[in-house]
Structure 1
Amino acid sequence: MNPLTALLALAAAAVASATTYCGDSTLTLTPYNPGTKGIFPVSSVLVSGAKEAILINAQFGKSQAQDVVNLVRASGKTLTTIYVSHGDPDYYFGLDTIHAAFPDASILATAPVIAHIKETVATKLTTWNPILGADAPNATIMPTLLTDKELKLEGHSLEIRGPADRSFVWIPDVKAVVDGVLMVNNIHAFMADAQTPESRVEWLRALEEIQALKPTTIVPGHALPGAVADIDAPAFTAKYIRDFEAETPKAVNSTALIAAMKRLYPDAGSETSLDIGAKVAKGEMKW
């Protein structure tokens, strides 16, 4: 089996919706998403050049991170960099496993992401370790500071755009957006991270920025297979934010808000995100 065939076979085994996107002949995007195998269907993306590769986001559970390790190994590329785009644990808990496999790869994040991880990691470990069980990280790997607004891969620019704590990666040579936490697709958005009107306005502006780039490929940060095309993820997410804002003041409690959002999005996955977001929005939970 040649390396490309092996890579595609492994990606398909990891998640049914995995797709390899090729822009020019020297740059390839291979996403991994655990789908329903994971607590959160979070996307990691391997961006590969001729000989080297960059990984965007590191997964949540240890077993999903190991799938990513296998994906990188099957690619035959040298992993130079791991970029962590957001400070929630489904973006960095898997660093422990991936760093053990590729100790020479730089692990980078923006200053706000590093600060968020440092401020919240103890609480996140207390919350999630009992739930993850054997999938919990053995250690927490802290990213180092990204001092530029781009990553370089064999002459290609991977631009870091959007809010510094919720960035996305724009790859102009292939007109691709690799999302962090800004976009969802056919799942409930995690509204607990946007508790103020100002944060939601910033979120909507970032989605507008993505749409203005006119990408031909989008890998949403969280998604399940099916429903709408990934290219529609910015519009789907923007509508969800506005619907959540409209329904929150109408609902007497989180139960009513959850019911309202399920009526609007009956096929959306990740009900955990909706449950937490609704409780936070109605003042029943701190986040």
Structure 2
Amino acid sequence: MSYRNRLTRFMFPALMTLGIMASTGVSAQTSAPLTLKVYNADSQSFHVNAVVVSGKTEAVVIDSGFTRADALRVAAHVLDSGKQLKTIFISNADPDFYFGAEVLKGLFPEAQVLTTPAVRAKIQAKMAGKVAFWAPKMGANAPQQPIVPELLQGTRLMVDGEALEVRGTTGALAHRPYVWIPSIQTIAGNIAIFGNLHVWTADTQKPSERKAWLAQLDEIEALQPATVVPGHMAAGTALDMGAVRYTRDYLLRFDTEAAQAQSGADLIERMKKAYPQAGLGLALEIGAKVNKGEMPW
């Protein structure tokens, strides 16, 4: 698997400076109580993000990357920071969110690998099948002994006395929580938000699930975050509320086009026309067929 080194600089409010890296990055010094580094993987890892949240002496990783290589790149930034990694928090049961936890745990044995009850239940139910499917395709980059996270006690993680609140842990989408960091007004760890990609809709076919998804986006918007880290994003996506609006607009457009499309292929063409620059075409191809009843999921 090949990776390009990309470095994109973003300017944010004076509250904080945020270092973003695709494969490598530069630490940012800030007076904010916490700082972030976002590892944005390439298309081979579905453009998934992992986030390192650091304080003066401690760090937490939110999601671990898909491949062993992804996880090693995340680990490098923790090591370079000199901070103690306390927790590896897994926000979703899809492999690109937790396969890398094995590597991180091996390098940071004192760190806890934690998640919510609903996410843990999904991981336990799907892990064997996901490993069987992906391991032959990933080769040496596949996990050797994938980790089932332990249960997070309560709904908060702490970094040097600053709270990371795990929200969205109940209801129809309890298995898709997100992290709100009040001290730096940041949203992270959320599969519900996509940046300039086709949105993954195959897992939310029920109207109640789509309604809950839109409600969660409204809930996030009401927090007025200064920084929003999508679960998946194209390189160069701005880390702001634009990703929330993009995802909401995409979902509404998808439902409108799905109601009019005669087939999955028709729906794919309609969405490609509506979003000609969006990456992650696999999400559209599968989502369109699933939502038109042409593919079981």
TM-score, scaled relative to structure 2: 0.88
Contact 1:178/1:218 (8 A) holds in 2:
yes
Question: Partner letter of residue 14 of structure 1?
Answer: S
What amino acid is the match of 2:116?
T
For residues 141 and 85 of structure 1, do their structure 2 counterparts lie closer, same or farther at Cα, with a shift above 3 Å needed? same
User: Which residue of 1 is the match for residue 81 of structure 2?
Assistant: 75
TM-score (norm 1): 0.90
Equivalent residue number for residue 46 of structure 1: 52
The unaligned stretches of length 5 or more in structure 1 are 1-7
Find the counterpart in structure 1 of residue 6 from structure 2: none
1:282 has 2:292 as partner: yes
Amino acid at match of 2:158: K
Matched, 1:208 2:215: no
Q: Counterpart amino acid of 1:44?
A: A
Cα distance, 1:21 vs. partner? 7.2
Q: In the superposition, relative to structure 1, how do residues 144 and 94 fare at CA in structure 2: closer, same or farther (>3 Å)?
A: same
Instruction: Say what the alpha-carbon RMSD is for the aligned residues.
Output: 2.0
Determine the structure 2 residue equivalent to 1:26.
Answer: 33
Give 1:105-254 correspondences, 5 Å limit: 105-163=111-169, 164-226=174-236, 230-254=240-264
- CA contact under 8 A between 1:20 and 1:29: conserved in structure 2? no
Residues 177 and 24 of structure 1, relative CA distance in 2, 3 Å threshold: farther
Deviations, residues 16-64 of structure 1 (Å, cap 9, x unaligned) = xx6867774331111111133x331111110001011000001111111
Q: Deviations over 1:246-277 (max 9, x none)?
A: 11122222211111110000000111111111
| CA–CA distance in structure 2, aligned partners of residues 19 and 264 of structure 1 | 36
Q: Does 1:14 align with 2:20?
A: no
Following TM superposition, by how much is the alpha carbon of 1:70 offset from its aligned partner in structure 2, in angstroms? 1.1
Give, in whole Å, the separation in 2 of the partners of 1:11 and 1:179: 15
Q: CA deviation at 1:147?
A: 1.8
Q: Any idea what SS the aligned residue of 1:230 has?
A: coil
- The change in CA–CA distance for 1:227 and 1:57 in structure 2 (over 3 A counts) is closer
CA distance in 2, matches of 1:179, 1:114: 15
- How big is the shift at 1:227? 5.8
By how many angstroms is 1:109 displaced? Answer: 0.4
Helix, strand or coil for the counterpart of 1:14?
coil
More helix by share: 1
Correspondence for 2:90 among 67, 84, 90: 84
Cα distance between partner residues in 2 of 1:49 and 1:228: 23
Farther-moved stretch of structure 1 (23-32 vs 108-117): 23-32
Contact 1:44–1:56 (8 Å) recurs in 2: yes
Cα distance in structure 2, aligned partners of 1:11 and 1:229: 10
8 Å contact kept, 1:22–1:29: no
Q: 1:254 to 1:239 in 2, by over 3 A?
A: same
